[in-house]
Structure formats: C-alpha cells, structure tokens
Structure 1
Amino acid sequence: MNLTDVAVIGAGAMGAGIAQVAATAGHRVSLVDAVPGAAEAATDRLGGGLDRLVAKGRLTADDAAAIRGRLTPAGSVAELPDCGLVIEAVPEDLALKRKIFGELGGSQPASTILATNTSSIDVSAIAEAVIHPERVVGLHFFNPPQVMALVEVIHGARSSATVLDEAVELMRAWGKTPVRCSSTPGFIVNRVARPFYGEAQRMVEAGVADAATIDWILREKGGFPMGPLELTDFIGQDVNLAVGTSVWEQTGRDERYAPTEFQRGLVEAGRLGRKTGQGVYTYAADGVLVGGDPDLGLAERLVGGPVETDPLARTVAMLVNEAADLVGRGEATAADVDIAMVLGTRYPRGPIEWGRSLGFAVVSRQIEELDRVFPGGRYRPSPALLDGTVQ
C-alpha cells in the first residue's frame, strides 16, 4: 500500500470528517465533491474547526497547521494522485456509487483499496462496477467521524482477505476500533438496533404506555443513554425510517424489520423530530422538550410484568435475539457485535453479553412468548438461541 496518499469522495459532514481523521493520522488527503466549490468550502470549515480545538487547548497551533496543510481540495476523481486508499462518502444511491467506483477502478492503481462509507447498500453490488473487485470493502464510520471510535469493516462477496486485514490495521493506526461484518443488510449496528426503535413504537401504538414512560423505563431501568422514542426524534424520524425501510427491503420485507405505521404517520405529517419542532414529542424554539413527563407508577407496574407489556424485557429480548441471529449466520462474531453496539449506540452492554447475563434460555422463552402473543414472524426465535450456537 501507498500509505501516504488518501482520497475522500464527498465533502459533506461525513466525508469531511473522514478526511480530517486521515489527515490527523499523517496522510496527504485529497477531498473531492461533484458540487463546484464544495471541497474548498469543506476544507475551510475543517480549518475553522481545527482553530477552535487550538483555542480550547486540545491541539497545538503547529499540529493544526500541519493537519490543515495535508488537506487538499481536488477537482475530480480523474485529478486524484495514486492513492493507497480512496473512501467514497456520497449519498446512499447505488447508481451514483457504482459510477464513482467505476471511475476509480479505471484511474487508480490495482493496488488501491477502494472503500465505501455506505451504511445500508450491499458492498458486493457496489463492487460489480470495479476492475479488480477484490479490493473493494466497506468502511462505515459513525457520525461525527472525528469523535466516534467505531468503524464497521465490511467484506463483500469478493473482498480479498488481505485487503480486509490491511483495512483493519489502517483503522487501528487511525485510532479507531474496527469490527468486521459481512455485507448483510444494515451491517451490525443498523441491523441489531432495529428492535430498540420498533418495540417502543409498537407499544405506544398498542396503548401499553405513553412515549415518555417507555423512554423513562429504557433510560432509568435499562441504562440506555436515551429512550428509543426521544432518540428517533433526535436522529430525525425520516432518517430513522429510511434506514429501517432499507433493511426491511433488503431482507425481502421480512416482518421482523417492518416499519411501523406509527413512524410512517409521523413522517407523513412532517413531524420529523427536533429539527421540525415536533416528532413524538414537541420542542420549544431552543430545542428543549416540552412536557414529556413519565407516569412513574405505570412504569413500576410494567417492569417485571409479562414480557409483552414490559418495555425493558421486551426490548432487550429482541436485541439479544437479533444479535444472536447475526452471529448464528456467521456474519459477525459475538465479540464484534458487542463492541459495535456499545461503541456505536452507547448501549450499557453488548446484547450477547446481556443475553449471557440473563441466560439465553430465559431470553429464548421470552421470545417464544412474544411469538405466541404476536404471531406472524416478527418474534420468531433465532435458531442460534434455540440450539445453543451462541453461548
């Protein structure tokens, strides 16, 4: 590998952040965007961010100048120098990504690792456009890349083991924590997290409890940093629905991942969360939540009761079930799943560790009970829970 030169395609928040990470690690970084002037503007913004770090005493002026000096806007893919690594970070559009990777495959040396930052598109489908597709991998950073330690390293059907190993080592050299996963819908974090949002939405729909009470239970009883309903307001209901819909579509509309009418209704009504002032909750002009008081008496009655009306037990059981399914299919290791969910979502513990603590037999019985109460396939137990594959 030529470890000196790195390029990033896409100068939005993710692409610019990745470029800063690479430049901070000592690489010369070329930043490209299809919009004229976007790469230059992003470079200027990054320079301003570095100046603020200097003002806070978190970076020396010399280091900031050196990082800024390693960032260079480029006019097009064709103008890029020969690189050891090119990372694409453009919008989630398969046709667009294939076009870019086709250009990169023709203009970069065969030794260049070509990576996509996609959060939802099949890496193998992107690689079809590339000469030497074995060099194509996924490097899914989390927002903001400068802060978040996790990177999902995704292997497509034809990704080289050597290239994957090099990508993992490079991410470690950048100060990141890489986890490996096959190119399964949603990868690790966006796949395993689906029940965290979906179960809460379904319980509100069914009248089990109001949103504030469910969020309180998951925060105060479960240790999650945010409740699932307030978190979707923070992410954006439209963004969260789009990710969930993508996983659902890629799994052949598996009922386990079906979006809820509750969330669809919020999006159709324009109640997208904090950014619009209304979502599940209502927000004041300064973004502060208005109301949202939990029913603490109801919360105490629900927790420890039947699993179908216990927001914590039901959510955790589904998270464990989903994680076990991923591990059971051989798409990621139990250790990587737990690391990914703790670093990527700040869960209080990894779902496999949580299942081990509760007892996988207990979780299996809870899932079977949910499947009995709510037939249709969403709550089918993972074979890995039933046959002891996950221990």
Structure 2
Amino acid sequence: MTIGIIGSGAMGAGIAQVAATAGHPVRLLDQNPAALEKARAGIEASLRKLMEKGKLTAGAAAATLARLHFTSTMTDFADCGLVVEAIVEDLAVKQQVFKQVEEIASADCLLASNTSSLSITAIAAACRRPERFLGIHFFNPAPLMRLVEIVPAAQTRAGLAEEVKALVTSWGKTPVLAQDTPGFIVNRVARPFYGEAIRILEEGIADAATIDWALTELGGFRMGPFALMDFIGHDVNFRVTEAVYAGFFYDSRYRPSLTQQRLLAAGYLGRKAGWGFYDYAPGAVPPTPRRDAKLGLSILHRVLAMLINEAADALYLRVASREDLELAMTTGVNYPQGLLAWADALGPAQVLATLDGLYHEYHEDRYRASPLLRRLARDNQTFFSV
C-alpha cells in the first residue's frame, strides 16, 4: 500500500518515516519546498541516530529513504491506499484539504487526520464518502513514540477502525481505540496533570520546583508538570487545553490557566524560547525544591486524585476500554502505572475522600467525583474487580 502524507512538519515527516520504515512507498506532500527539504534533512538525521544506537542497519535506512518521495503535487496521491493529514489545527483548512484529496484519490483510498484536538466527525462531514474517514493520532516524535490513538468518526464504516488498528500494529506501534470526544484519551485524561499543578502554584502552596519534585521523586512520573509544559511548549500545551475546554462546552474541569496564558502572551514558551516556568539561559541555576515529604505527598495525592477521576469518567462514559485507557497513559505519556490500577492500589474510597475534601473546601464543580468512582467506593469494589 502506498501512503500519502499531507504536511511535512515534525508530525508529518515523522509519520512518513514510520510508514516508509515499515515498507510502504510514501508520498510526503507540502506546498513549501523549503519545508520539504527540512523534512528530508530531519528524516535523514533521525535515521542516522537510529543507526548509531544500533536500532537500524545502514541497509534498512537506505531502503527507507528510497521509499520516500517528496512532492508538492497532490496528483501524486492517485495511487495511494491511505492518505494521512498532519497540518495546522484548523477545521476549515482540514476540511478543504480533504475535499481536494477526494478529487484525486481512488474510491477505495482511506482518509485520516492526525489531529489532536479537533472533531474527527466534523472533518469527515466535509467528505463525499465520510465512511472511509477516521482519526489516526500519532504522538511526537512519531518514530519513537509507540502509542497511536485510532478514532472513528460517527460516519466511519463498521470494521474500519479495527482494520487500521491492525495496519498500525504492523508498523510496530501500539494502537488504542477511542471515541471521538475532545482530547480523545491522552489529551483528555492528562489535563489535570497540568491544570491542578498550576492551581497549586497559584494558591501559593508550593513553587514549581517543589511540585515537580513531588510528582517525580514521590510519584514516579518521568517529568514534573512544569518541566513538561516547558518541554512541550506553552503555545502547544495551552492551545490543547483551550480546545478541550471549548470542546466540553466550557466544563470547569478543563479550564485553562491565566498563569499559563500570561507566559504565552509574553512569549515565554518554555525551553525553545529560553524561558517558561524555568529559566533556560546558559548558566542559569535551577531552583531548589522544598523536599518536605508531608507537603510533597499532599501535592501528589491531590494531582493524582484528579487524574484518576478523569480516567474513571472516561471509562464511565465509554470513551475507551479499561485496558486501552491504561495502555494509553503508560505508553503515550509514560505514567509510572495505569491510573485505574493506581486507584485500586490506593483504594477508590481514599481517592474519593481526597476529591470530596477538595470539593467541600472550594465548592467548585472541577472537583466533582465521577459516578463510577463513587459507586466503587460505596460498594467496596475496585476498577479491575468489575
């Protein structure tokens, strides 16, 4: 099967590399010749790194490059069996692109978007044959990140998601199935990792370094929320939060932070700008966290309760299966363990007590407990016992 990729930015180039490495002829499309050259150089550099690490032979790298065709002409998609879009997160632009693709692609060509925040159903609505459309959401960098979210639209024909899941598995990836709801699995469930951490900072309970220390040293997370937001970039992280918030009709659980908005407005985008929650200038001294175990555990349990609650609600509302929810968070964002298993280890009643305590203190709907979590606590059950 020949694969077409629209957009040669970091995601498009990464997906193209994945498909080409798996043996597919790939057409990578971009209207900007400079962007295509940058993509070519980036893929070559990525393949060299994999060779240096012993993860790819020189022959395999050369074969991968030989399968890649860089183009600015959409007519090159005429023989594609799958076309994946990875361009700007703008619904109208994506809809227009797929209208153009349908003028060229064959009747049996599958269409997919790599969007992380827009409705798959809304994009599909612009297609003449929306039954062949779905979401295939890779994570950055696509060649290294295993997780891929497969998201059928309301119009997607029965069985297509499973077919694409098998295809993505053959590429060496770990696919999970998600409903077409804002943020799918990872970007929905992970919101409290950032939002609640910022809330703790805003309340003056602890500084960013202490919160990051609590989540990494006591919680086992690979990166703390503030270091991670700086790494992702506030232009990206804040926009995803905005999209999820709007997508859920402004549910307070997903409300963006004024603190992060100010960083974005100031251009303090994180590592790439040299400043975010932390100073990345040469010679800058990292702040020293307050290593207070009691304080750290209270921070950890507050953030963790919010994360578990989000996972519980996603399960309750059938966004994804229990197994896929766990797999998504451990594989997609490298959480130390699945949130539902973590809830079982702590005990749903303890998690509920933390949430109810926050609700009674603040009287804010953001701390409302999932009905599923409340039921399990009441019946003395666990997520993996039902």
Q: Same fold (TM over 0.5)?
A: yes
- Could you say what the CA RMSD is over the residues aligned between the two structures, in angstroms? 1.7
Of residues 265-274 and 185-194 in structure 1, the stretch that sits farther from structure 2 once superposed is 265-274
Within 5 Å, give how 1:122-201 maps onto structure 2: 122-201=119-198
Query: Match for residue 335 of structure 1?
Result: 323
Q: Does 1:302 align with 2:295?
A: yes
CA distance in 1, matches of 2:268, 2:13: 29
Confirm or deny: 8 A CA contact 2:137 2:148 kept in the other structure: yes
Paired residues, what number? 379
Query: Match for residue 111 of structure 1?
Result: 108
The residue type paired with residue 56 of structure 2 is L
| Offset of residue 268 of structure 1 | 2.1
Query: Match for residue 230 of structure 2?
Result: 233
The residue type paired with residue 234 of structure 2 is Q
| Offset of residue 385 of structure 1 | 1.2
Within 5 Å, give how 1:54-93 maps onto structure 2: 54-93=51-90
CA distance in 2, matches of 1:229, 1:49: 27
Deviations 1:18-39 (A, max 9, x none): 1111011111111101223533
Deviations 1:1-44 (A, max 9, x none): xxx21111111111111111101111111110122353354234
Deviations 1:125-158 (A, max 9, x none): 0001112111111110011111000000011111
Query: Match for residue 50 of structure 1?
Result: 47
Query: Match for residue 313 of structure 2?
Result: 325
Within 5 Å, give how 1:257-268 maps onto structure 2: 257-268=254-265
The residue type paired with residue 288 of structure 2 is D
CA distance in 2, matches of 1:38, 1:271: 25
Q: TM-score, normalised by structure 1?
A: 0.93
Query: Match for residue 12 of structure 2?
Result: 15
Of residues 112-121 and 31-40 in structure 1, the stretch that sits farther from structure 2 once superposed is 31-40
Instruction: For residue 387 of structure 1, give the secondary structure of its aligned residue in structure 2.
Output: helix
Query: Match for residue 382 of structure 1?
Result: 370
Query: Match for residue 286 of structure 2?
Result: 291
Q: Does 1:351 align with 2:348?
A: no
Confirm or deny: 8 A CA contact 2:270 2:277 kept in the other structure: yes
Change (3 A) 1:20 1:369: same
Structure 1 unmatched ranges of 5 or more: 305-309
CA distance in 2, matches of 1:209, 1:165: 46
| Offset of residue 369 of structure 1 | 1.3
Identity percentage of aligned residues = 48
CA distance in 2, matches of 1:354, 1:97: 38
Of residues 147-156 and 274-283 in structure 1, the stretch that sits farther from structure 2 once superposed is 274-283
Instruction: For residue 367 of structure 2, give the secondary structure of its aligned residue in structure 1.
Output: coil
Confirm or deny: 8 A CA contact 1:22 1:174 kept in the other structure: yes
Change (3 A) 1:98 1:210: same
CA distance in 2, matches of 1:40, 1:5: 21
Query: Match for residue 276 of structure 2?
Result: 279
CA distance in 2, matches of 1:266, 1:54: 38
CA distance in 1, matches of 2:264, 2:83: 35
Structure 2 unmatched ranges of 5 or more: 377-381
Change (3 A) 1:303 1:62: closer
Confirm or deny: 8 A CA contact 1:281 1:290 kept in the other structure: no
The residue type paired with residue 335 of structure 1 is E
| Offset of residue 52 of structure 1 | 4.6
Deviation above 6 Å: which 4+ runs of structure 1? none
Query: Match for residue 28 of structure 2?
Result: 31
CA distance in 1, matches of 2:45, 2:290: 45
| Offset of residue 251 of structure 1 | 0.7
| Offset of residue 303 of structure 1 | 4.0
CA distance in 2, matches of 1:44, 1:26: 20
Query: Match for residue 307 of structure 1?
Result: none
